[in-house]
Amino acid sequence: MGTFAKFTRSDASLLQSYAKSGDVAAFETLYGRHKDALFNYLFRSLGQFAAAEEIAQEVWMVVIKQAGSYQKRDATLRAWLYTIGRNKVIDFQRRRVNQAYTDIGDAAIPDSALSAEQRVFMDQLLVQLNNLPAEQRDAFMLQQEGFSHKEICKITGVGSETVKSRLRYARASLKQRVGES
């Protein structure tokens, strides 16, 4: 696949090419486009580097298995990826109901990229994100990934007013909790 074609093909056409003819280069392009952002979303949702890696692999396995049955619906392929990821996070959290999710030892942002003050703030923010109710954290994290309210509604399966409320409560709670720390 030529360099220009790699950047101009849509996600759906890349997945279709992989599903129909086993075009590994098309899948690699699709994977390259979304792997980092998806991993960062999973990491921030869980606060655990190893768990985020494991779930990211599970998400990509679902994509590989369901590539042939993917139909471009109302949601984009990116939204489909995050829906799978969100569902995997929920499953993971259900399995670990009694376990604390404050392990932030491995950070997605290298220490050298942040000042000491910024690092402390980021650590506090990650802890407080993990203390939010799961629904609020999901909505907030999806918004931080650039999804619109409409896309968040489709990914989470709730109405627009519910998403707005969850985002409002999440922002207010984070503002209060991080300000207190």
In this prediction, residue 5 carries a pLDDT of 52
Q: What is the total count of domains within the chain? A: 1
Asked if residue 137 lies in contact with residue 160, where contact means CB atoms within 8 angstroms, the answer is no
Q: In angstroms, how far is CA 43 from the centroid of its own chain?
A: 8
The per-residue pLDDT for 36 is 95
In this prediction, residue 68 carries a pLDDT of: 86
pLDDT of residue 181: 53
Per run of 10 residues, the mean pLDDT along the chain (length 181 residues) is 62 91 94 95 89 95 90 76 91 62 43 66 76 88 89 91 93 80 53
Query: Is 77:70 a contact under the CB 8 Å cutoff?
Result: yes
Q: How far apart are the first and last CA of the chain?
A: 51
Contacts of 103-111 with C-beta under 8 Å, sequence gap 24+, read 103/47, 103/48, 104/47, 104/130, 105/49, 106/48, 106/49, 106/50, 108/39, 108/40, 108/43, 108/44, 108/49
Rounded CA-CA distance 16/78 in Å is: 14
Decide: 101 and 46 in contact? Cβ < 8 Å.
yes
Domain span at residue 59 reads 3-180
CATH number, position 139: 1.10.1740.10
